[in-house]
Amino acid sequence: MNIQDNYQKNKKNIFFSENKDIQTHREKLINIFQNDRFDKKNNESLKNINLKNFIDFKYKYLIPEETSVINNNQENSYSIVCVNGQCSSFKDDKIEITKILDEDYNDFSKNDTIENNDHFVNLNSLFLNSGFKIVIKKNNKIKIKISNIITDDGLTIFQKNNYICEEGSSLNLIEEYENKNNSTSNILNVIKLEKNSQLNHFLIQDNSPNHNLIITSHSSCKKDSTYTQKVYNFSEGYVRNFHYSELIETNSEVDLQGIFFLKDNNTSNNKTFVKHLAEDCKSNQVYKGILNDRSRATYFSNTHVDQVAQKTEGYQLSKGILLSDNASYFSKPELKIYADDVKCSHGSTIGPIDENAIFYLRSRGMSKIAATKILISSFINEELSSIDNEQMSEIIQKKLVRYLSKVK
Amino acid sequence: MFLEIKDLSVKIENKNILKSLNLNINKGEVHAIMGPNGSGKSTLANVLAGKEDYEILNGRINFKDNDLFDLNIEERAQEGMFLAFQYPVEIPGVNITPFLHSAINSKRKRKNKEEIDNLSFAKLLKSKASDLGINIDMLKRSVNTGFSGGEKKRYEILQMSILNPDLAILDETDSGLDIDALKIVTDGVNKLKTKDNSFLIITHYQKLLDYIKPDYVHVMVNGSIVKSGGSEIAAEIEEDGFQKFQ
């Protein structure tokens, strides 16, 4: 079924389909799909995937029978079970959770940082069927854990979430994606950090082979704010992690980290696009991958330093270990600098495990498999030891042990 | 015979390195191999330790009644062979203490001995490190990472003293050491010497042999041992160089 027919057929289940402005925007998106020749060579959102599978899909969405649960466990700490992308409304003096509204959609659709040829974002806007908005109120320090549950096989979740950290607030956000059914989640997180706010965003991804997870996030940082994203991808199904970031006021910072553990035929696509639009801002990116069997990964990174963005610091680093001759990791960190007083660097190192290090460890009595595992662990040791949340550190360690148990 | 190398020929990437090499080492003996650059000394050390880049063309090696070629790298180490590397490998993120603890226990496991617990190992490590003038803080660091040349060599000897091998191969352990570090390292080696273990010392210079007295000195040129004798050979080399052996 073509995209137009698919949309028309399922319109009644799609958010804001009665809104004229949104309808106009969606018509434009449909035109993009119909006119695009899907240039796989130049369009980074199309690398390593068969887009046809995602465009010719069977739309299925179920409004969850059980509403999501929001618990205020301890002071300033909340846990949310988000079912099929839906989250109940909640309000206290520190946070407010609501459904997303037409105005949130419009607000986002006017942003031009995300390229209009990112077809997964376009699909998200077109078939939007779930999502929520969380506002952290001024000067509050909050912890939120979100478990994302999908109830049925074959569901196609198109979810848009808005996170707003008001001035002086701080949010520690842990998101877990552990779906074992055959479904697709296409999620767009729009994150706004007001003056002097902070968001530490951890994403743990551990889905089964038939689950596709497409996460796109967009953060904008005002003066003295910091957005940190750490992604740990242990999924056996396809995962796409794209992040677009705008440092719009001085002394703001974005710190992006992604670690992925791939095996079998799995694919992980990663992309970042950081725009430095003000002075004294900092961006840091570290992406590391361990790839076994016939797995594949990409890391496309673009750091754009505007001519007004003097005193910028922008760093990009990607590293990969290929455990098999058939695994591949394509990395392309790019800098575009239009200011003259900046500190920027980019680098990429991908290769098999260091045979000299293996020999050294084995020469002390360690088996080859034990030496390989210890070198994999050491490869990501710096990132894992920097996790300051004990519970999360334990979760990641367990998943790492499980991944390593499959390494032969 | 403790170690018997018979008619060993080895090549790497179509280049013959060792050519019909013979060497016998008995228990309790210290042997030194001297030779010019490119004579195959390090290749011999690596082949003994089991490095897999080399192709064995001919010959055999027996070590403690085992055919060495039947043992893989770790089995050789567990059987009591130790190579002190010429260029110890930096391994960021692998902490020295658990690594060495795991190494010693893998050896004990092969010998059906009880594993050493954390506390006993910590005491052993601390005492051996102190003997070698190694700062305790260094034991909190990653293997060889950020170490100076001298620290790396000292750390090799620390590993050797912890693992207490039957045959220790020292591949140019003296290179990059100042005189004080050389003394500390050689003192560490001398402390380990017993009638039950053996050493194969590879060096360019006589200086190391002033501190570790060898029972035998062999001259290696172009992949073969061309002369064997006592420590007088080292003095001869110091005087005249390797030219006359080539």
| Average pLDDT along chain B | 92
Q: Both A273 and A160 in a single domain? A: yes
Residue A107: pLDDT band (50, 70, 90) is confident
A349 touches chain B (CB under 8 A): no
> What gap in Å lies between CA A303 and CA A284, rounded to an integer?
10
Q: Which residues of B touch A378 (CB under 8 A)?
A: 91-94, 142
The predicted pLDDT at position B138 comes to 86
Q: Which domain holds residue B213?
A: 3-245
A35 touches chain B (CB under 8 A): no
> What gap in Å lies between CA A2 and CA A30, rounded to an integer?
10
Interface test with A, best of B48, B51, B53, B74 (most A CBs within 10 A): B74
Q: Both A335 and A388 in a single domain? A: no
> What gap in Å lies between CA A118 and CA A108, rounded to an integer?
14
pLDDT digits (tens, 9 = 90+) for A318-367: 999 999 999 999 999 999 999 999 999 999 999 999 999 999 999 999 99
CA of B169, closest CA in chain A: separation in Å?
Answer: 12
Contact B91 A361 (CB under 8 A): yes
**Share of residues in chain B with pLDDT > 90 (%):** 71
- Out of A359, A362, A378, the one facing B93 most closely (by C-beta) is A378
Phi and psi dihedrals of A182, rounded to 5? -85, 90
- Out of A357, A365, A377, the one facing B78 most closely (by C-beta) is A365
CA of A384, closest CA in chain B: separation in Å?
Answer: 11
Contact B77 A382 (CB under 8 A): no
The predicted pLDDT at position A71 comes to 74
Q: Both A348 and A366 in a single domain? A: no
- Mean local confidence (pLDDT), A29-42: 80
| Average pLDDT along chain A | 92
| Count of domains observed in chain A | 2
Q: Is the pLDDT of residue A123 over 70?
A: yes
Q: Which residues of B touch A375 (CB under 8 A)?
A: 91, 94
Cβ A177 vs Cβ A148: under 8 Å: yes
Q: Both A336 and A384 in a single domain? A: no
Q: Both A345 and A398 in a single domain? A: no
Using the 3D structure, point to which of A352, A373, A400 is the last residue of a domain. Answer: A352
> What gap in Å lies between CA B90 and CA B106, rounded to an integer?
21
Report the range of poorest mean pLDDT among A106-120, A180-194, A300-314, B138-152: A106-120
Q: Is the pLDDT of residue A69 over 80?
A: no
pLDDT digits (tens, 9 = 90+) for B66-82: 999 999 999 999 999 99
Residue type, B74: E
**DSSP 3-state assignment of A236?**
coil
Q: Which residues of A touch B159 (CB under 8 A)?
A: 364
A381 touches chain B (CB under 8 A): yes
Residues of B with CB under 8 A from a CB of A: 49-52, 72-74, 76-78, 82-83, 85, 88-89, 91-94, 99-100, 102-104, 106-107, 110, 142-143, 159, 163
**CATH number of the domain where residue B61 is located:** 3.40.50.300
Q: Both A204 and A272 in a single domain? A: yes
Using the 3D structure, point to which of A332, A352, A372 is the last residue of a domain. Answer: A352
Q: Both A34 and A93 in a single domain? A: yes
- Mean local confidence (pLDDT), A8-24: 91
- Out of A354, A359, A381, the one facing B51 most closely (by C-beta) is A359
Q: Both A178 and A275 in a single domain? A: yes
Contact A375 B94 (CB under 8 A): yes
Question: CA A161, A218, A42: angle at the middle one, nearest 5?
Answer: 125
Burial pattern A156-175, b for ≥16 Cβ within 10 A else e, equals bbbbbbbbbbbbbbbbbbbb
- Mean local confidence (pLDDT), B160-172: 95
A377 touches chain B (CB under 8 A): yes
A375 touches chain B (CB under 8 A): yes
- Mean local confidence (pLDDT), B37-54: 95
Cα separations in angstroms, A228 against A82, A160, A174, A253: 22, 20, 12, 8
Q: Both A373 and A346 in a single domain? A: no
pLDDT digits (tens, 9 = 90+) for A44-57: 777 878 777 788 89
pLDDT digits (tens, 9 = 90+) for B122-143: 999 999 999 888 888 888 899 9
Q: Both A160 and A177 in a single domain? A: yes
Using the 3D structure, point to which of A307, A330, A352 is the last residue of a domain. Answer: A352
pLDDT digits (tens, 9 = 90+) for B51-60: 999 999 999 9
Q: Which residues of B touch A357 (CB under 8 A)?
A: 89, 91
Contact A363 B50 (CB under 8 A): yes
Chain A residue with Cα closest to B104:
A365
Residue A67: pLDDT band (50, 70, 90) is low
Interface test with B, best of A288, A361, A364 (most B CBs within 10 A): A364
Q: Both A338 and A369 in a single domain? A: no
Q: Is the pLDDT of residue A32 over 90?
A: no
- Out of A360, A370, A381, the one facing B93 most closely (by C-beta) is A381
Contact B103 A370 (CB under 8 A): no
- Mean local confidence (pLDDT), A254-273: 96
A353 touches chain B (CB under 8 A): no
Alpha helices in A180-254 (DSSP H): none
Q: Both A319 and A404 in a single domain? A: no
A402 touches chain B (CB under 8 A): no
> What gap in Å lies between CA A26 and CA A4, rounded to an integer?
10
Q: Which domain holds residue A246?
A: 3-352
CA of B242, closest CA in chain A: separation in Å?
Answer: 31
Residues 6+ apart with CB under 8 A from A84: A61, A62, A63, A64, A130, A149, A150, A151, A155, A157
| Count of domains observed in chain B | 1
